[in-house]
Structure 1
Amino acid sequence: MVKVLELASNEVVQQVSELYKDVWNYEDNSIKERILKHSSYKGFRGFVILSKEDKVIGFSYGYTSLPGQFYHELLAKEFNSEEYHNWLQDCFEFVELAVHPSYRKQGLGKILISKLVEEVDNKTTILTTQIDNNSARSLYESLHWKVLKEPFYPSNSIQPYVIMGKELK
């Protein structure tokens, strides 16, 4: 049995940081700093899933996407005015999702995604993932997300991404 909790305490954020490093083989602590920064954003929501041993095995978070925010501005450049109005005008930005590799294929990603967007007041939600991340894309498509743009190169990335969206209302 797993528990779903809000992403709130510093202890949980530290565990999320460790999980992020395990999932992405990434040795910096910027995820902790980003979560702490983003937790002050309008509409911030975050959840973790704990194992039986109360260890964080998955997390997701996001917030209301607003003009002036770094990623909002990157995404806005990819859309014409109609697409911007339809997708970013009243949007919840799905920022991160990670599940420890040994706990995948058990529906935990679906739980985290559903919990994250279930009470969001925004009209749409949007996310990006690596264009070749087939397991993530399949997961999102199974939950009725659709591809809005590909390829998308955020910032100085040489790796192509895909922009996906879902209507919430």
Structure 2
Amino acid sequence: MKLLKINDALFDQIESLYNRVWNQSIDERLRKHYTYDGFRGVALLSKTDRLKGFAYGYTSLPGQYYHGLLAKELAPNEYEHWLTDCFEVVELAVDPDFRRQGHAKTLMTELLDEVERKTAILTTQTDNHSARSLYESMGWVIVKERFYPGVPDKPYVIMGKN
């Protein structure tokens, strides 16, 4: 097993895995996010260099799309606490063949290990119980239970970590 920093040589494998997991493309978004301030990404490869999973994020700043969505959902004191010096976890995906082996926890731990921000924030679907359980076991707290970043009938939860 190899843990690497995400680089452009891994983009095709990340695209393929993301498409299998979420049935959509991440390529354009990843290439854009890769240029953001504070971008940090990790990938976990098998002994045969098969991508087991990846996670990435960046410094959350005013003017970014998701930062703006989150800002609208938070009271001024919540914004001050959670978003003014924040690392935004954008994606975490593990190949279904490699789930329930601790890889998501490894990826999240490594992703946040050297982040020099006061807080980290992420969102996940309210009904994604395995993700929520993982994050809660790692010390994440619920910042807001119902958040609708896109489709009105697909609620998300905003979670934060100091």
Output the amino acid matched with 1:165. G
State the TM-score, normalizing by the size of structure 1: 0.93
Question: Is 2:63 aligned against 1:64?
Answer: no
Aligned with residue 97 of structure 1, among 80, 92, 102: 92
- Taking only the aligned residue pairs, the percentage that are identical comes to 56
Aligned with residue 19 of structure 1, among 1, 11, 17: 17
Output the amino acid matched with 1:69. Q
Distance 2:151 2:62 in 1: 20
Runs of 4+ in 1 over 4 A off after TM superposition: none
Greater mean deviation of Cα atoms: 156-165 or 115-124: 156-165
State the TM-score, normalizing by the size of structure 2: 0.97
Question: Is 2:119 aligned against 1:121?
Answer: no
Distance 1:38 1:101 in 2: 24
Superposed CA RMSD in Å reads: 0.9
Distance 2:95 2:21 in 1: 6
1:112-151 map, 5 Å: 112-151=107-146
Q: Secondary structure at the match of 1:116?
A: helix
Distance 2:124 2:137 in 1: 15
Distance 2:63 2:113 in 1: 26
Unaligned runs of 5+ in 2: none
Output the amino acid matched with 2:7. A
Distance 2:51 2:62 in 1: 32
The answer to whether the 8 A contact 1:74-1:155 is kept is no
